[in-house]
Homo-oligomer: A and B are copies of this chain.
Amino acid sequence: METRILAQNAKQAAIALSGVSGEQKNKALAMIAERLYQHKDEIIKANEKDVERSIGENLASPLIKRLRFNEKKLSDVIDGLNSLIGLEDPVGKTLLSTELDESLELYRVSCPIGLIGIVFESRPDALVQISALCLKSGNAALLKGGREAAQTNRILYELISSATREAGIPDNWINLLESRQEVSEMLQLDEFVDLIIPRGSNEFVRYIMDHSRIPVMGHADGICHCYVDDGADMKKALAITIDSKTQYVAVCNALETLLVHEDIAAEFLPALKEELDKRNVILRGCNKTRKIISCEPATEEDWKTEYLDYILSVKIVGGVDEAIAHINTYGSGHTDVIVSQSRANIEKFMDYVDSADVFANCSSRFSDGFRFGFGSEVGISTNKLHARGPVGLEGLVTYKYKLIGDGHIVADYADKRKHFTHRRLTKNFQVK
């Protein structure tokens, strides 16, 4: 079908879906879980074909690992659906209510965003998670997964689509795009598509931003920092640095640059080097660092680089102010950590570091929707508008203002015959 028609139909489905009750959406989520379990053999078989073809195409082994969708991953996905059912409906919540005047009441009520286009990597579990988050938040979706997972994505899409149809969810709420051409077309459809969520490389996200008028929610880079302050607990600082850098190197919340207070560097860096050497991490240091430990020199380019690899750049700084200035200059506004025993320095760092996630005395790797208790996430936003940091259900809704009067007109207030009361109410939206 033409992408334009697909999007137009999906937009209509979005409007119908915005009125579906939380109960019915939960019923549909349960139906998806059931259907995936019933058809697990077919899903796994389709995935084996994708994996086999991708091995033949010499896909890198970490990517093969992400592509694989076995019984264990299916069971995780079904657990995820069940926990999503347990979360409160994010739609229809009264966020503010104000009496403007007698019998003239204003309500700010949460509602779905509408039609969301999501482009994601070759991870079939992402398709299920994203669809489920969209459904629970009342949004219709145009989904484009990685080419490598094509067969798995198709069967998952068909199962989800038929399960939700049976549960009474409006047709066309979920749609699968299968070519890059369709993605290019989607980027032009700003009359139907309300939001694009691209997951992928920095270059890819920037490409999307430059080729669409549709708002984009995503993160471009994850250049995360850890600053070890003077007086920091050495043992904790070591554990946090190692975990942030090595617990999973290929992800956006992994550590890329370590900043160390000059008065603690001589003690901390040799101990750190010993631990990181064991884990095959290559260090690149500033001149001061290289006077303490032997390592490659870091250039200006290193401070701007997201390695996503076993490499760490190290800089010695004069204190928390220099650390903050470095992060605000070279960072990407994702996640930055201070290890310190000083309350004043922690507060300063958290106030002035201009990032979505500012952490004290814990690993940068905690920056994640599941770990934050949001159930799951559609991504991590380094945008400052709308949703920032890990984005779960709440980031997928907006609000509208509902004002109920009894024949009220503005002329009465302009001519001072009537006056606003602007009294805060504590009740939920309801039409009398």
Contacts and interface: CB of A to CB of B under 8 A. Distances in A.
Copies in the complex: 2
Contacts of A348: 19
Contacts of A288: none
Contact of A15 (B343, B354, B358): B354
Contacts of A16: 352
B407 A236 contact: yes
A406 interface: yes
Given A358-B402, A403-B359, A404-B360, A98 B372 contact: yes
Q: Chain A contact residues: over half helix, strand or loop, or mixed?
A: mixed
A410 B366 contact: yes
A21 B398 CA distance: 30
B385 A420 contact: no
A209 interface: yes
Contact of A363 (B360, B388, B410): B410
Contacts of A365: 409-410
Interface string A365-405: 11100011100000000011110111000000011111111
Given A366-B403, A411-B243, A195 B385 contact: yes
Contacts of A420: 371, 373
Given A385-B386, A405-B359, A354 B114 contact: yes
A389 B384 contact: no
B243 A409 contact: yes
Interface residues of A, number: 76
Contacts of A371: 100, 410, 413, 420
Interface stretch (A68-76, A127-135, A210-218, A259-267): A210-218
Interface string A79-120: 000000000000000000010100010100000011000000
B100 A407 contact: no
B432 A352 contact: no
A60 interface: no
A21 to B, nearest CB: 11
Interface of A: 15-16, 18-19, 98, 100, 104, 106, 113-114, 194-195, 209-210, 213, 215, 217, 233, 235-236, 239-240, 242-243, 247, 328, 343, 346-348, 350-352, 354-363, 365-367, 371-373, 383-386, 388-390, 398-411, 413-414, 420, 422, 431-432
8 contacts: A217-B385, A239-B407, A361-B406, A362-B405, A367-B403, A371-B420, A389-B400, A389-B401
